[in-house]
C-alpha cells in the first residue's frame, strides 16, 4: 500500500551520518528539514549533499525544506544556567548585541526594544512556556519581573511575549544569509517562521524564484487572526504547535489546527502538522498512547504532512520514530471511511474559489471518473506540480502518479499527499509521459494491462496552472 500522508524529518547530530540518514529514508522519510535556528552552514551543506546522493541511490525523490529562524527573541549568553525560584524577582536587560552579556547579574535578552514593549502585568514566557514571569516595572533598558514558576533558564532559550504585536522585521539579516545559502544549494521549500501577516510572505516571495515553494509557519496570535490571507499567499502552512501553544491558550490550539488544515486543503496549500508529535521518542523507543492518538487525529483532520523535530534531530531513536509515524499513517489510511469529510467550520464556498475554476472542475471530474471506473490510480502530467496538488486536495481513493520533466517539481511533489512523483527526463510529449507512467505502474505492480485510468494535464505543457485536459486511457 502506498502511504498517502508524507513525513518530514528534521536532520541534526542524531541523523546526519550517512548510515542513519539512509535508514530514515528506508523507514519512510519523504523530506528533510534544515533548521537554521540550530544548523550551521557547514552542517546544512552536508544535509543537502546527503539528501541528493541518497535520493539518487534509492531512486525516489527527497524534498529539502530550509526553515528560517525568523525574529525569535531569546535569552542571551549566560555565564552558567540560572536557577529560577517561584516568587522571586529577576531583572532582564535588553541587548543590541546577541552575543553580549548583561551587567550586574541581569538576564540578557536579545531584543533591544524589550522595555518599550513591556508594561506591568505583561507575561514573559521562556522555553515554550515552561518558565513564566509577570512584569512589575520597566526602567531604561531593564525589566523587573516576578517568577511564576520554578525552573532553570539556559542561554539561547526562546522568549514569547503573548498578546504583543512586536515591531520586529519578518526576515532578519541572519535569515537573509541563510536563505541565500539555501538557494545556492537548490532548496525546494523555504519555511518562514513567526509569520504575522500577508506582507511577511510577500517580502519572502520577492527574495526567491517562482519555482521555490514557501511554507508559512503559524505560531503567532496575529497569524491566526490573518489565516485566510496568509494561506492564500503561501504554498504550504505549518501548524507549529510549540510557539503557538504559548502564544494562545493551550485549549485553542486543536481548534486552530483543524481550521488551518481544512483551509489549506481547500486552498491547494500543503498542510503540515508539527511539534511534539512523538516527543517521548526522543528518549524512548516507544511512543505514548496519547502521542499515537495525536498523530492519528492529525491525519483524520486532513493533514498532508506530519513532521518530526527533536525526535530525529537529537533523539536516541530517530529511525524508530519514523517507523512509528509510518505505521500509524498506514493504519489510519487502511481504515474504511478515513477520506470522509472532516468536521467543517463553515460553508466551503465562502472561503475558497479554487475548486470552482476550470482546473478545479477538471480535477474534480477526474477524481469522480477514477472512482466510477474503478481505476487503480490517476495519472497527471505536470510541469509545476500544481495539477498534482490540485488533484491531491480532492482526496482521491487511489494513488496519483505525477509525471514531470522538472527535477525540482519532482522533488517538491515528494511532499504532496497521495502523490507518487515520476521524473521524465526525455522530450516532453503526451504519449511519451503517459508511456513512462504505464511502465512505472507495471514495474511496481500497481496495475495490469487492460485496466482503464484517467489522465489529466495542462495544455500546452510548461504553462503552470492551466489544468484543462482529461482523458480516459487503457493501460
Q: Which residues are catalytic?
A: 33, 74, 217, 275
Helix (H) / strand (E) element for 217: namely strand 213-218
Nearest to 176 by CA among 65, 66, 268: 66
**CA contacts within 13 A on the Cβ side of 340:** 6
DSSP state of 218: E
Query: Rounded CA gap, 401 and 420, in Å?
Result: 5
Classify residue 449 by burial, with Cβ atoms within 10 Å: 0-12, 13-18, 19+. exposed
180 touches 208 (CB < 8 A): no
Burial of 459 (0-12, 13-18, 19+ CB in 10 A): exposed
Rounded to whole angstroms, how far apart are CA atoms 211 and 412? Answer: 10
Strand 158-160 vs strand 31-35: parallel, antiparallel, or unpaired? unpaired
* CA distances in angstroms from 434 to 135, 371, 411, listed in the order given: 65, 20, 19
The CA distance from 292 to 328, in Å, is 7
- The whole-angstrom separation of Cα 359 and Cα 337 is 26
Q: How far apart are the first and last CA of the chain?
A: 20
Tell me the H-state helices in 185-215: 198-205
Amino acid at each position: 500500500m502506498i502511504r498517502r500522508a508524507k513525513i518530514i524529518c528534521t536532520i541534526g547530530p542524531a541523523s546526519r551520518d550517512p548510515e542513519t540518514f539512509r535508514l530514515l529514508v528506508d523507514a519512510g522519510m519523504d523530506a528533510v528539514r534544515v533548521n537554521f535556528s540550530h544548523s550551521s552552514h557547514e552542517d546544512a551543506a552536508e544535509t543537502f549533499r546527503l539528501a541528493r546522493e541518497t535520493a539518487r541511490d534509492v531512486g525516489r525523490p527527497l524534498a529539502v525544506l530550509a526553515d528560517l529562524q525568523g525574529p525569535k527573541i531569546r535569552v542571551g549568553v549566560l555565564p552558567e544556567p540560572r536557577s529560577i525560584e517561584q516568587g522571586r524577582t529577576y531583572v532582564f536587560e535588553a541587548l543590541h548585541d546577541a552575543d553580549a552579556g548583561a551587567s550586574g547579574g541581569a538576564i540578557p535578552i536579545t531584543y533591544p526594544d524589550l522595555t518599550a514593549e513591556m508594561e506591568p502585568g505583561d507575561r514573559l514566557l521562556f522555553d515554550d512556556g515552561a518558565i513564566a514571569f509577570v512584569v512589575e516595572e520597566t526602567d531604561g533598558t531593564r525589566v523587573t519581573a516576578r517568577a511564576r514558576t520554578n525552573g532553570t533558564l539556559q542561554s539561547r532559550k526562546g522568549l514569547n511575549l503573548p498578546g504583543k504585536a512586536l515591531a520586529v522585521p519578518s526576515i532578519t539579516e541572519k535569515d537573509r544569509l541563510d536563505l541565500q545559502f539555501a538557494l545556492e544549494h537548490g532548496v525546494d521549500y523555504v519555511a518562514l517562521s513567526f509569520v504575522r501577516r500577508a506582507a511577511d510572505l510577500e517580502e519572502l516571495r520577492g527574495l526567491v524564484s517562482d519555482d521555490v515553494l514557501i511554507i508559512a509557519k503559524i505560531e503567532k496570535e496575529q497569524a491566526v487572526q490573518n489565516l485566510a490571507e496568509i494561506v492564500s499567499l503561501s504554498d504550504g502552512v505549518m501548524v507549529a504547535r510549540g510557539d503557538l501553544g504559548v502564544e494562545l491558550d493551550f485549549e485553542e490550539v486543536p481548534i486552530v489546527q483543524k481550521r488551518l488544515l481544512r483551509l489549506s486543503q481547500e486552498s491547494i496549500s500543503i498542510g503540515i502538522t508539527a511539534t511534539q508529535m512523538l516527543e517521548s521518542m526522543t528518549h524512548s523507543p516507544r511512543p505514548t498512547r496519547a502521542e499515537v492518538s495525536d498523530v492519528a487525529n492529525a491525519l483524520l483532520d486532513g493533514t498532508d504532512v506530519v513532521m518530526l523535530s527533536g525526535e530525529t534531530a537529537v533523539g536516541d531513536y530517530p529511525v524508530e520514530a519514523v517507523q512509528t509515524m509510518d505505521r500509524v499513517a498506514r493504519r489510519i489510511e487502511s481504515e474504511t471511511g478515513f477520506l470522509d469529510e472532516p468536521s467543517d467550520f463553515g460553508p466551503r464556498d465562502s472561503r475558497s474559489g479554487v475548486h470552482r475554476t476550470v482546473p478545479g472542475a477538471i480535477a474534480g471530474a477526474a477524481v469522480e471518473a477514477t472512482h466510477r471506473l474503478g481505476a487503480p490510480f490517476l495519472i497527471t502530467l505536470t510541469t509545476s506540480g500544481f495539477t498534482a496538488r490540485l488533484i491531491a486536495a480532492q482526496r482521491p481513493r487511489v494513488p496519483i502518479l505525477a509525471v514531470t520533466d522538472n527535477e525540482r517539481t519532482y522533488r517538491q511533489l515528494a511532499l504532496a499527499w497521495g502523490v507518487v512523483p515520476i521524473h521524465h527526463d526525455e522530450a516532453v510529449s503526451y504519449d511519451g509521459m503517459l508511456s513512462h507512467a504505464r511502465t512505472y505502474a507495471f514495474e511496481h505492480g500497481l496495475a495490469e494491462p487492460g485496466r482503464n485510468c484517467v489522465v489529466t494535464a495542462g495544455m500546452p505543457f510548461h504553462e503552470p496552472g492551466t489544468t484543462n485536459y482529461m482523458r480516459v486511457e487503457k493501460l
